[in-house]
Amino acid sequence: MACSEFELIKRYFHWPSNDESIAKGVGDDCALLNIQTLGTGGEQLAVSMDTLVAGTHFPDDATAAEIASRAFCTALSDLAAMGARPLWFTLGLTLPSTNEQWLQEFSVSLKTISQHYHCALIGGDTTRGPLAVTIQVHGAVNSPLQRSRATAGDQIFVTGTLGDGAAALRLLQNKMTAQAGDGEYLKQHFYRPKAQIAAGQLLSHYIHCAIDISDGLLADLQHIANASQVDMDIQVKQLPLSPAYKNTVGAAQWQLAASGGDDYQLAFTVPASQQVKIDHLITHQQLNASAIGWVRECSSDIPQVNCYDGERALDITTRGYQHFAS
């Protein structure tokens, strides 16, 4: 790497930290981490990586600050889905050119959002090429939430509201219009999705199965169904929708909320033994979540996610996220 690029890393991505788990962060060939600080309770290290490519995962005209917050929050969402506590992250940055103003805006946004989640930047790689951002997050987890742990009889819940990411995508693609306040809310959700870290950690004390909704509720529930070998029945009228979604897409338009991507909420399943506890957390506003269906025994060799309106089975054609470019 050229010296000027090393200077650039030092200027924009060297954020000294007092975190005692970090013996050495940015600056040498490797970061050095004191893993004994992970805790004495047998915590495991949770690691996940996500890449965002310009024009595919965000529009070409997204600002540097928007790209940074979206890249970080979408990567962090995977830690939330396992119930992990954020520790550190690394940053792979591919840049078409060295634009100092862009880097300044990007690094300030990334620093602000990552400090909010107590997740420290410990290293990375910087190369030249079409704009892309890769973030690898590391977290610690005691009782990981896993896709394979759903069982027949569990109730299915989701945190927050569904469809905001998909509605935002349509606004950004000019396929939809919204009133100013609603448009702002939805775009904010797209560029700064709230990774459900607190909800994931709370849930990990009581249940065993969750996933974050990145590709769309039905597509992501299908991952649970496959991994757990169960069917899942969803009541579409129970899908939680935000006021902005209802105003923009329509209060009766559950399809986009069921199949659109970019929500970064958690879907989780609750066994009968824990239902009182989870209901208590929801009633006392310690957890923002809604019941949307039930886990059933597999009715065939192939696990199914079915949608119902009351007793009526519905036919769903689109089940997953469509890339920005499509």
User: Residue 33 interacts with ligand ADP (CB under 6 A)?
Assistant: no
Q: Kindly determine how many residues on this chain lie close enough to bind ligand ADP according to the rule CB under 6 A.
A: 15
Residue (103 or 267) nearer to ligand ADP, CB: 103
Residue (31 or 168) nearer to Mg ion, CB: 31
CA dihedral 74, 75, 78, 79 (to 10 degrees): -120
User: Residue 13 interacts with ligand ADP (CB under 6 A)?
Assistant: yes
- Residue 26's binding partner out of ligand ADP, Mg ion, none, with CB under 5 to 8 Å set by partner kind: ligand ADP
Structure tokens at 268: 């989780």
Shortest distance in whole angstroms from residue 29 CB to ligand ADP: 4
φ/ψ of 114, rounded to 5, equals: -70, -35
Q: Which of 2, 4, 18, 29 binds ligand ADP (CB under 6 A)?
A: 29
- Residue 93's binding partner out of Mg ion, ligand ADP, none, with CB under 5 to 8 Å set by partner kind: ligand ADP
Structure tokens at 214: 């990145």
Shortest distance in whole angstroms from residue 239 CB to ligand ADP: 39
Q: Which of 27, 39, 96, 250 binds ligand ADP (CB under 6 A)?
A: 27
55: left (phi over 0), alpha (psi -120 to 50) or beta: left
Residue (29 or 315) nearer to Mg ion, CB: 29
Contacts with ligand ADP in 307-326 (CB under 6 A)? Answer: none
Shortest distance in whole angstroms from residue 145 CB to ligand ADP: 29
Is the Cβ–Cβ distance between 295 and 231 less than 8 Å?
A: yes
Q: Which of 38, 93, 172, 178 binds ligand ADP (CB under 6 A)?
A: 93
Residue (68 or 221) nearer to ligand ADP, CB: 68
Shortest distance in whole angstroms from residue 61 CB to Mg ion: 35
Q: How far apart are CA 172 and CA 70, in angstroms?
A: 14
Q: Which of 2, 16, 29, 61 binds Mg ion (CB under 5 A)?
A: 29
User: Residue 28 interacts with Mg ion (CB under 5 A)?
Assistant: no
Contacts with ligand ADP in 99-158 (CB under 6 A)? Answer: 121, 123-126
Residue 313, judged by CB atoms within 10 A of its CB (0-12, 13-18, 19+), counts as: exposed
User: Residue 292 interacts with ligand ADP (CB under 6 A)?
Assistant: no
Q: Which residues bind ligand ADP (CB under 6 A)?
A: 1, 6, 9, 13, 26-29, 91, 93, 121, 123-126
Q: Which residues bind Mg ion (CB under 5 A)?
A: 29
